[in-house]
Amino acid sequence: MKLTVAGKKKEVKDGITVAELIEEEQIENPLYVTVTVNEEFLQRDDFETTKLKDGDEVEFLYFMGGGSVR
Amino acid sequence: MLYIEKKDYDKILKHATDGLPNEACGLIAGTADGEEKYVREVYLLTNIDASNEHFSMDPKEQFAAVKDARAKGYELLGNFHSHPESPSRPSEEDKRLAYDSKANYLILSLEDREHPVLHAFLIDENKNVTENPIVIR
């Protein structure tokens, strides 16, 4: 099936989960990545169980934060 | 090298100044030619920590910026945040929370309000910091 991942079309196995896609895409520091599917934010606890469907649009967003304390 | 137009630098500076005493933050998008990165768009985001020592970007705004940048044919080049009272260099927290080794981390110091200082840094998986020179033009 086909997905759009970070704006690019990708062919992936049917029924791939979000967790599997994160692994396949070799996302750096996956613990700090937020995922949207068709513009909906997913809960981290759902990554393992959420199966993607043909045509889904997936985005990975890194948590971005920091501070000026030494 | 990271190239940024004066108007975009001014936009970042105004956002940071308007946000005082808190830290301000945002994203930069543009085009790349190998190691040469050209900032074409600056996105001003909300610091949801509303703190003068910490920042976190609003994920919804972050998502909207990514979508907008892509629609314009740009790639996300990195992010910026201000240090209201400290120099333009990554703090230990900045390094700890830098999860994208390909991103440019811009830090605008307002420590000396009359002479703001903007530097860009790359932070690798081992938290080694390299400055990426900025050209404001």
Average pLDDT over residues B99-116: 94
Q: How many CB pairs under 8 A join A and B?
A: 81
The reply to whether residue A65 touches residue B125, judged by beta carbons under 8 angstroms, is: no
Question: For B99, which of A28, A41, A70 is closest by C-beta distance?
Answer: A28
In this structure, are residues B85 and B52 in contact, taking their beta carbons and an 8 Å threshold?
yes
Of B76, B88, B86, B94, which Cα lies nearest the Cα of B30? B76
Average pLDDT over residues B106-128: 96
* A62 at interface of B, judged by CB pairs closer than 8 A: yes
Which spans in B29-82 are helix H?
Answer: 59-71
3-state secondary structure of B91: coil
Burial of B38 (0-12, 13-18, 19+ CB in 10 A): middle
The reply to whether residue A63 touches residue B97, judged by beta carbons under 8 angstroms, is: yes
Angstroms from B45 CA to nearest CA on chain A: 11
Chain B residues in contact with A60 (beta carbon < 8 A): none
Residue A34: HSE in the Cβ half-sphere, 13 Å Cα cutoff: 16
For B5-22, how does the pLDDT look when each residue is reduced to its tens digit (9 = 90+)? Answer: 999 999 999 999 999 999
Q: What is the ipTM of this complex?
A: 0.80
The pLDDT value recorded for residue A70 is: 60
For A4-40, how does the pLDDT look when each residue is reduced to its tens digit (9 = 90+)? Answer: 999 899 999 999 999 999 999 999 888 889 999 999 9
The reply to whether residue B55 touches residue A32, judged by beta carbons under 8 angstroms, is: no
Instruction: Report all structural domains of chain B as residue ranges with CATH numbers, in order of start.
Output: 2-136 (3.40.140.10)
The pLDDT value recorded for residue B99 is: 86
* B54 at interface of A, judged by CB pairs closer than 8 A: yes
Q: Model pTM greater than 0.95?
A: no
The pLDDT value recorded for residue B31 is: 98
Average pLDDT over residues B117-129: 96
The reply to whether residue B98 touches residue A39, judged by beta carbons under 8 angstroms, is: no
* B23 at interface of A, judged by CB pairs closer than 8 A: yes
Chain A residues in contact with B99 (beta carbon < 8 A): 28-29, 32-33, 62-63
Judge whether residue B66 has pLDDT over 70: yes
* B59 at interface of A, judged by CB pairs closer than 8 A: yes
Chain A residues in contact with B86 (beta carbon < 8 A): 68, 70
Of B18, B110, B29, which Cα lies nearest the Cα of B64? B29
3-state secondary structure of A31: helix
